[in-house]
Structure 1
Amino acid sequence: MKKYLCLAGISGLLFFACDTTKPQLTQEQYDALTDEQKRSVEFALDGIEVLDDRLQLTLFASEPMMTNPTNMDIDDRGRVWITEAYNYRNQLNPKNPVKAEGDRILILEDTDGDGKADKSTVFYQGTDINAALGIAVFGNKVFVSVSPNVFVFTDENGDDVPDKKEVLFTGVGGVQHDHGMHAFTFGPDGKLYFNYGNEGKGLHYADGSPILDPLDRPVTSETAPYQEGMVFRCDPDGSNPEVLAWNFRNNYELAVDSYGRMWQSDNDDDGNRSTRINFVMDYGNYGFKDEMTKADWRTRRVNMEDSVWRQHWHLNDPGVVPNLIQNYAGSPTGILVYEGKLLPTEYQNQVIHADAGPNVIRMYPVQPSGAGFTGEVKPILDGNKRDNWFRPSDVTVAPDGSIFISDWYDPGVGGHAVGDLEKGRVYRLAPKKSKYKVEAPDYSSVESLIELVQNPNRAIHFKAFMALKEKGAEAKEALEKLYESEDSRMKARAFWLLTKLPNGNDYIQKAAADADENIRVAAVRASRINGMKDSAFLLQLAADPSDQVRREVAVAIRYEDAPDVWLKLAEGYRSGDRWYLEALGIAAEFRWDSYLPAYLAKVGQGWSNSAEAKDLIWRSRSAGTPALLEELILAENSPADHRYYRALDFQSADLKNLTLKNLLAKGQNEDQVIILRQAAFDSKKPDAQLLSLAKAKAGEIADDRDFLEIVRKYQLKDQKERLLGLVYQEENRGLANQSAGLFASLYGMGEIEQAMKNSDETKAIAAIRKFGAVDTPDMANLLSKFWKNDKASTAVRTAAMEEAKGYQSEAVLWELAKADQIPADLLPIAQKILMSSWNGNIRVLAVEKYGNSIAEGYDLIRMQSAKGNPENGKTLATSYCLTCHKVGNEGIDFGPALTQIGGKLSREGLINAIINPSEGMGFGYETQLVKFKDGKEIRCIVNSKTENDLIVKLVGSSEQTIYKLADIASITQLSESLMPAFPLSEQELVDLVSYLEGLR
């Protein structure tokens, strides 16, 4: 009765819910709403907490005016431009309805001044922009990013109908890939900045030819050092494209402040609590994959970091720029630098960011720290506690300084799936009682343009910049006056325009002597854009008191031969400033062989006692570096972090091996395991010294992972007892599975069969369970001997059948099933395995043979509100999920980690991900069909591809397998997930989801 009264009281608010003068519902009132009410527009504002009581969130637009907004921009008239994604990846989800005419670009406008959009104009609609991920309005041109293309639409006469559509760039990754091309933004220097995620692969001109770097190398993922996600800039017409940074996973959008500094977020491999915010240093490597081998971050390496988020970005490796902020779990999207004045002071000049995963908008106040920065995290909006369908996809500044947020509004956050096609919202965040009012900009006079160039809205900034640039000398006096402003950022905006004048370099020289280090930073950046090539200028700034300025000088000389400048910069380095060290490494990239010896000569014989010199040697890549690292390793008597050993991985392979052999002769005994791990070893032409040492050392190795690595690498067959101990231990399932597979490869199936025949049934079943986890045809055939044996006990036969699963094992089981060789009493187990097989072809055939019982009769509406038993769900997760996913430290690291899945997907999203796994494959976890030249085929996850090798993970294994590309005929991405649809009852599914919801 009490609930009824509460709902009756709330129902009266329906008509007034969008009235912003009404207070937000209390938590109790909101909890009493039905799911339908919570998802409705009427209660949209009640589902989002505004964490600053000086600010107010209002609803600017919603369904049915628009749906599924992926990206947003606001033009100089205050109109909101939206890219919709109704047709989001519909080729992978045939159940979703499709708009045959394609997705839309909309212009949403408030014509009556009430703060809500009342007019919607379709600017363009077509299948060529299905699920576009970026939109930017620059004058009469609209840049639309939709992989594999960047389109530029031109509206010549201002009637909101494009008169021309052109391809600016192409060849960027797969069609409709979230990790492809993202939005463009305008920089204060007059350049356009943009990025793509790790599906981008390369940037090409409209004719298909790749862009080239300053050394005339094509900028593609096949050209070292370029790989994974990248950052670029170009002129407004697309000319002079430059690659600025690389090795991100999915850097969704880029923001540039008035000094020209770049900021962005990056998404981790899903579920690994490693999302990040980066200050983007020019020419920086950001460490998603191994710089040299392109190996996945999980690959064990010397000096491997002690936490997942540090491992994820290779932060202990020389040559990796550090992160600014760790955001742990998330799905980061739009980002901006707020340089307006409308919001309270603490928001001004700060990075503001949308994260669709945890349903939040955050701010990141940063402070300079040496050559880098420190930052903190401050939430602004939070939907997680109430409406976890709030999925902010973008944040943009309006002409009045208010912030607009587009909300994709969905139970999930992308991947390959969409759960709701009918909803989508746009919100405005501003101080209370702040009305949304935009006056028509006046671009006619210098005076008005000076005001407009200071506007926080990038569309106005762009048009004012271009108009002032066009006016040239006529604007000089007014720009010089603005340059004297006390507002450092507006001073910087004036500066960039002054550098475009015929005597622009004079202003660069003046700015280089400014008291404000940020203006001096801009001066160095401008000197590169203007092509000053003035070594005296850079040498002067190499002695600047600011680490921030010296960082910029370092990256400015990357492609220049400037030994005096580099040596002066190296003098200013202080150990511990990783940003500065990486800047020095970027500068010396092509000249280590001359720069490093000159530096050491200048430091003198005491270099081995200098922390700075040791850091520089660790970071260096000269021909003499391996010998110097050898000297440091010997002098420091096996330092605990082994960073110098790891540095050897970044040197010439031949010199690295020579150094390791030298260390064997001269070094410390406790380092021998590291040397065995790092040294190159060919089992077909074994090095006698290394093999002898491996045999002598293996039994003493304390770390089980090191032990397995050495035994596998050197094919040691005298460690059977310890290997068996690892197979039968219960603490680490992944370690047990690795050990069982290694045992089988070393000793064959004979000893395993004998263990399974043990007269002690308990021991026999233990052997079946432990070794049955090895997914090979040989193991599947061995297990079949036991479940076919009608003289064996029911317990043994059942255990053998239950272990007959796995991608390769199920192929064997299916052949036996086709021949009707499955005993009747074990047929239900076999059917369950085959009908939820990792192999989609087997699933289809098994359903044809046995009939489909999976997911039949699910009442989705009931399951969304039904109560489950989390403890039972945990048991189910152990049986099904942990065979390929990790929850905390448990499980197999094959698919995305589930440790915080409840904070990323709503209940509806979780249910759909389990029932329809092919609809929501995480990016980077797609099924790849690899066909070999000898006719063999495998389905797997491809972790990376190098010039010679394909590195994959096979189903149910956390280990990586390496195949030679020369042996491979083709690699094809499939639309079907490797994850099967589990044969769960409705209540079991509710229980499982109830458990997963609690993983946060």
Structure 2
Amino acid sequence: MPIQLLRNPIILCFTCLLAITACQSPESNTSTTTKTDTLTEEQKHLPENALRGLTVAEGLVVTPFAEEPMLQNPTNMDVDDRGRVWITEAYNYRPAINGNPTNALGDRIVILEDTNGDGQADTSKVFYQGPELNAPLGIAVLGNRVIISQSPYIWSFYDSDGDDKADRKEILFQGIGGEQHDHGAHAVTFGPDGKLYFNFGNEARTLKDAKGKVILDGKQYRQGLTLRCNPDGSQVEVLAENFRNPYEVAVDSYGALWQSDNDDDGNKGTRINAIFPHGKYGYTDEMTGAGWQSNRTNMEDSIPLRHWHLNDPGVVPNLLQTGAGSPTGMVVYEGNLFPERFHGQLIHCDAGPNVVRSYQVQAAGAGYTANTENILKGDKDPWFRPADICVAPDGSLMVADWYDPGVGGHAAGDQVRGRVYRVAPKGHPYKTERYNYKQLNSAMQALESPNLATRYLAYTALLQMGDSATAALQQHWKQTGAGPRMRARAFWILLDKDTKNEVSLLREAATDDNSNIRSMAIRAAVTKKSIGLDTILPALVNDRSAEVRREAALALYHYKGADGPSLWTTLANAHDGIDRWYLEALGIGAEGQWGPFFSQWLTTNQQPLATAAGRDIIWRARTDKAIPLLAQLAADNNTPLQNRLRYFRAFDFLEGRAKYPALLKLLEQQQGNSLEGNRLVLQALDIPSVRSSPVAMKALDQVLDSLRGTAAFIEMTGRYKVKHRNSELLQMAVQKSKEPLGRDAASCLLQQDGTPSIKSVINGKDTAASLALLRSLAGVGNTASLDILQNVVTSKQYDSTLRKAAAGMIGWSWSGEERVLTLLKAGKVPKQYIPLVVQSVGGAWRGSVKEEAASYLPEGSQKDGTTAPPAFAELKALKGDIAAGHTVFTSKCGLCHKAGTEGFDFGPALSEIGSKLPKEELYRAITQPSAGISFGYEGWELKLKDGSSLSGILSSKTETDLEIKFPGGSKQQLKTSSVKTMTQLKKSMMTDNLYQQMSLQDMANLLDYLGSLKKH
């Protein structure tokens, strides 16, 4: 989908599309409407039946505001101060990939308005349409300025004459990822401090200003970012990093930030984050950039948690993990029209599971907990795809729905539908108050609005007014009866307006009875470049509220005051040894200053290992001064090893070589008494230290003895180039030839000059061993392995049994497929083995390879396997069998996909795919796998410097190492320096003809089985 919404396609190496749900009569609630199952599939998708598929929260009703053809494919939305709904459309979404038609005039920005007061839009105006507008993903209406996010640009459109038409367009930012990329720039939000907030996903990489000057280089930060800047685009700040694809920043009146993020599809790890300034959020390894699937010490016990490196020091916790989904727009509801339980809470769209949710957040120490309540759910219509939400001026909620059978992955199943709903308590018609922003009292009233566009105009007007506005703002600030959020809004304007009194204003806020206001005071001082920070921090580091102390810790980030170490020590001494949020705030505050901060802390903690809090701080520290203490914790045999894993992992976050002597000493102390402990130490050491230390090499041998026959044995043998273990690798290659272990052992053996020993087995008298070793070699696919297989096929010195086996396996790898074509073209394949060599590429996903190879078969033996996929109507007419479908999944899909605990981790997991995609979209994913490929699951061809090539999915890539994943879940680690070229494949790694391998009944069964995989 265009987008944002998308962010979580989950389907067999291919993904989905989007959709929207339509409208009906006002004041309707799904609990009183006709059951959806009385309608045909076609009828369900008509606008007049839209509300039948929706369920709304108690105390609220949903009514239609607009529907197609007034709008189509809405990706993002804003509501202006007049109650008009602004929509960005994406008709032209990814046509080169999904094959959909395009509009040469370009995509549109439309304004939907209810002019007669009946609660439904009756006019639709085109604010702008142009060929350069391709599936924009964000819109913010700020007076006569409309900010549009569309990678690689963020534009400012201006309506100077008020005719609802854009008069001019300016570049605000550029260079943000590729054009139309879902993981690029997302919507801009206006903050209470007058700043603009926005984010982008992990495809963005750079940020340039209007003139093309680089502001941010992607190499400076990890993955997706949260950012802030002045309204003119100056003073860009990175607020947080290492997200996968955050959709939209939500900012409350106190300046606290929230956003959603989506996981690699199918891993049930989508999340909601509270944003700590300068926080790191763990999508990839903080130090190396390795992907979450790469092996590491102290890995989390489940994939949804592992996905975010939550056990690593330096990763800010998630507020919530919301399971499988495609998270989209989010707001902080600061109105009072909704029932009280929603006041001040987060409201969020998740297009994947067809839901708009409220997250009712409560403080918990320095962090948060939250309860979830659905506000609007597409229970009976899986095409409901809420793309964005906004709070209207009257406090009602507007929901943009890109009605579609799927959610993302560069595909779109429906281009013409699109809807907007209004959610409000029953009996509240849609009315919008008009404000005169030039009049003080009216502008002050507008500042109280729950609608951001209205508050922006009020902020701007009040900032420009004279002393009377200052007095009015001060009155609101000082009157607690005005409500804390309104006081906060007044505070931010005063801070910019009354600069002579800004320090005294900060002091007032810092001593306020409300902890949110005190926290705001610290944020404000930091935002104002630490003006007054040194005057308020000494008191606030002792604040009774952990939330306030958290903000004080965060404010110490690069703090220059001489009292920094003592302030941090006071805060650190208040850590309870339990609160991870607080600990991470301390870590952020100490960044770049760990030496003096940690030293000061030690002076007040003579026994730092004696308390959980002390051990926490040592684990989180990034200074060489912590190394001796960390080593003691790692070596403490009185503590179960499982509880010490975190300390071994912490060594990975200490840069420099000072840690290596301590680790080697730890090996000496253990004297082989703890093989697992030795293994952990070896993993924390660098390779030169291990190979140059007799103690380490002895420990390595002992560890390898304990790991014989395992993947870890192969990994460690290869890492340290332990060639005297080649005989054991050879044994594994023979004995485990039907498992990925056999291939990996053979690959490692070839890299360690083991070719002579391999040839000795193949040339030996044990035919079974020779055949097994050939099988392992066939999966390797490098030049050395293919040379051996080719020699067996073409050399008469081998008997026919081996030659036939080698011929039937030589094309089992990507490089093997190419070797097959080379040999056939050159006429080097003996005639009797041509059918077997051609058969070896029968599983190739590249149809061109199979077709070209088949052309060398004898006359009359070629097969024409091109048949069109069956029509969906044919499949729908068949009665499916879920149990039989499970069998089909196991045999046809399980090599690349997991469903629950079954299958292999290659393509997106399908454990809850039935909650996300209706049958027609599952059908499309099977028959047209290249029409939508999940981001992060694209296939890559790697040509190596040794002449071989590999194809698979990159599961991890750093500056020095990369990991490629193959069907069946196996992986191969490579040095980046060994790769000559990397080319992204345009087609899905899933075979295009999977449907040809199944009967109609088999496919019907499979669709029923996949449809049954739902969240329970």
For 1:291 and 1:594, locate their aligned partners in 2 and report how far apart those are by CA, in whole Å.
23
8 Å CA contact retained: 1:752, 1:771 = no
Matched, 1:628 2:629: yes
Counterpart in 1 of 2:511? 513
My pick for the range that moved more, 471-480 or 507-516, is 471-480
Matched, 1:808 2:815: yes
For residues 478 and 536 of structure 1, do their structure 2 counterparts lie closer, same or farther at Cα, with a shift above 3 Å needed? Answer: closer
Counterpart in 1 of 2:49? 43
Provide TM-score, normalisation by structure 1.
0.90
Q: How does 1:214-613 map to 2 (within 5 A)?
A: 219-223=216-220, 226-383=221-378, 385-483=379-477, 484-486=479-481, 487-500=483-496, 501-502=498-499, 503-531=501-529, 532-561=531-560, 562-604=564-606, 606-613=607-614
Between the two proteins, what is the percent identity of the paired residues? 43
Q: 1:367 is paired with a residue of what secondary structure?
A: strand
Q: How many Å apart are 1:905 and its aligned residue?
A: 2.4
Counterpart in 2 of 1:3? none
For residues 591 and 783 of structure 1, do their structure 2 counterparts lie closer, same or farther at Cα, with a shift above 3 Å needed? Answer: same
Counterpart in 2 of 1:707? 713
8 Å CA contact retained: 2:690, 2:696 = no
8 Å CA contact retained: 1:357, 1:391 = yes
Q: 2:414 is paired with a residue of what secondary structure?
A: coil
For residues 357 and 826 of structure 1, do their structure 2 counterparts lie closer, same or farther at Cα, with a shift above 3 Å needed? Answer: farther
Counterpart in 1 of 2:700? 694
For 1:429 and 1:830, locate their aligned partners in 2 and report how far apart those are by CA, in whole Å.
63
For 1:259 and 1:570, locate their aligned partners in 2 and report how far apart those are by CA, in whole Å.
25
For 2:690 and 2:90, locate their aligned partners in 1 and report how far apart those are by CA, in whole Å.
54
Matched, 1:677 2:689: no
Matched, 1:909 2:914: no
Matched, 1:63 2:74: no
8 Å CA contact retained: 2:294, 2:956 = no
Q: 2:920 is paired with a residue of what secondary structure?
A: helix
User: After superposition, what is the alpha-carbon deviation per residue over 1:152-176, rounded to whole angstroms, capped at 9, x for unaligned?
Assistant: 0011111111111000011111111
User: After superposition, what is the alpha-carbon deviation per residue over 1:128-182, rounded to whole angstroms, capped at 9, x for unaligned?
Assistant: 2201110000011000000111000011111111111000011111111111000
Q: How does 1:716-735 map to 2 (within 5 A)?
A: 716=722, 717-718=724-725
Q: 1:42 is paired with a residue of what secondary structure?
A: helix
Matched, 1:131 2:135: yes
Q: How many Å apart are 1:241 and its aligned residue?
A: 1.4
User: After superposition, what is the alpha-carbon deviation per residue over 1:469-500, rounded to whole angstroms, capped at 9, x for unaligned?
Assistant: 11142123322332324422222222222222
Counterpart in 1 of 2:182? 178
Q: 2:657 is paired with a residue of what secondary structure?
A: helix
Q: How many Å apart are 1:708 and its aligned residue?
A: 3.5
8 Å CA contact retained: 1:854, 1:983 = no
Counterpart in 2 of 1:111? 115
Q: Partner amino acid for 1:541? A: L
8 Å CA contact retained: 1:416, 1:919 = yes
Q: How many Å apart are 1:526 and its aligned residue?
A: 1.2
For residues 399 and 825 of structure 1, do their structure 2 counterparts lie closer, same or farther at Cα, with a shift above 3 Å needed? Answer: farther
Q: How many Å apart are 1:697 and its aligned residue?
A: 2.8
For 1:85 and 1:829, locate their aligned partners in 2 and report how far apart those are by CA, in whole Å.
49
User: After superposition, what is the alpha-carbon deviation per residue over 1:859-902, rounded to whole angstroms, capped at 9, x for unaligned?
Assistant: 13323554434444434433443333333344443332222222
Counterpart in 2 of 1:7? none
Q: How many Å apart are 1:629 and its aligned residue?
A: 1.2
For residues 596 and 928 of structure 1, do their structure 2 counterparts lie closer, same or farther at Cα, with a shift above 3 Å needed? Answer: same
Counterpart in 2 of 1:90? 95
Aligned residues: 969
For 1:512 and 1:466, locate their aligned partners in 2 and report how far apart those are by CA, in whole Å.
25
For residues 855 and 209 of structure 1, do their structure 2 counterparts lie closer, same or farther at Cα, with a shift above 3 Å needed? Answer: farther
* Alignment counterpart, residue 667 of structure 2, candidates 636, 657, 664: 664
Q: How many Å apart are 1:274 and its aligned residue?
A: 0.7
Structure 2 unaligned residues grouped into runs of 5+? 1-21, 857-861
User: After superposition, what is the alpha-carbon deviation per residue over 1:190-215, rounded to whole angstroms, capped at 9, x for unaligned?
Assistant: 1111100111112221122222xxxx
For 1:727 and 1:936, locate their aligned partners in 2 and report how far apart those are by CA, in whole Å.
23
8 Å CA contact retained: 2:882, 2:1009 = yes
8 Å CA contact retained: 2:248, 2:330 = yes
Q: How many Å apart are 1:572 and its aligned residue?
A: 1.7
* Alignment counterpart, residue 81 of structure 1, candidates 75, 82, 86: 86
For 2:840 and 2:431, locate their aligned partners in 1 and report how far apart those are by CA, in whole Å.
62
For 1:782 and 1:931, locate their aligned partners in 2 and report how far apart those are by CA, in whole Å.
19
Q: Partner amino acid for 1:518? A: N
* Alignment counterpart, residue 941 of structure 1, candidates 953, 957, 961: 953
For residues 529 and 704 of structure 1, do their structure 2 counterparts lie closer, same or farther at Cα, with a shift above 3 Å needed? Answer: same
User: After superposition, what is the alpha-carbon deviation per residue over 1:360-392, rounded to whole angstroms, capped at 9, x for unaligned?
Assistant: 111111111111111122222221x42111111
Q: How many Å apart are 1:601 and its aligned residue?
A: 1.2
Counterpart in 2 of 1:33? 39
Q: 2:926 is paired with a residue of what secondary structure?
A: helix
Q: How many Å apart are 1:508 and its aligned residue?
A: 1.5
My pick for the range that moved more, 909-918 or 445-454, is 909-918
Counterpart in 2 of 1:194? 198
For residues 379 and 838 of structure 1, do their structure 2 counterparts lie closer, same or farther at Cα, with a shift above 3 Å needed? Answer: same
For 2:411 and 2:844, locate their aligned partners in 1 and report how far apart those are by CA, in whole Å.
21
Q: 1:222 is paired with a residue of what secondary structure?
A: helix
Q: 2:435 is paired with a residue of what secondary structure?
A: coil
Q: How does 1:723-872 map to 2 (within 5 A)?
A: 738-739=744-745, 741-742=747-748, 747-748=754-755, 772-776=778-782, 801=808, 804-816=811-823, 834=841, 837-839=844-846, 842=849, 845=852, 853-864=865-876, 866-872=878-884
My pick for the range that moved more, 869-878 or 683-692, is 683-692
8 Å CA contact retained: 2:31, 2:55 = no
For residues 913 and 529 of structure 1, do their structure 2 counterparts lie closer, same or farther at Cα, with a shift above 3 Å needed? Answer: same
Q: 1:654 is paired with a residue of what secondary structure?
A: coil
Structure 1 unaligned residues grouped into runs of 5+? 1-15, 212-218
For residues 726 and 939 of structure 1, do their structure 2 counterparts lie closer, same or farther at Cα, with a shift above 3 Å needed? Answer: closer
My pick for the range that moved more, 507-516 or 774-783, is 774-783
My pick for the range that moved more, 486-495 or 595-604, is 486-495
My pick for the range that moved more, 691-700 or 611-620, is 691-700
Q: 1:273 is paired with a residue of what secondary structure?
A: coil
For 1:112 and 1:165, locate their aligned partners in 2 and report how far apart those are by CA, in whole Å.
32
8 Å CA contact retained: 2:77, 2:139 = yes
* Alignment counterpart, residue 648 of structure 2, candidates 645, 650, 656: 645
8 Å CA contact retained: 1:677, 1:709 = no
Matched, 1:992 2:992: no
Q: 2:75 is paired with a residue of what secondary structure?
A: strand
Q: Partner amino acid for 2:485? A: R
My pick for the range that moved more, 616-625 or 798-807, is 798-807
For residues 403 and 974 of structure 1, do their structure 2 counterparts lie closer, same or farther at Cα, with a shift above 3 Å needed? Answer: same
Q: How many Å apart are 1:68 and its aligned residue?
A: 0.9
For 2:713 and 2:366, locate their aligned partners in 1 and report how far apart those are by CA, in whole Å.
41
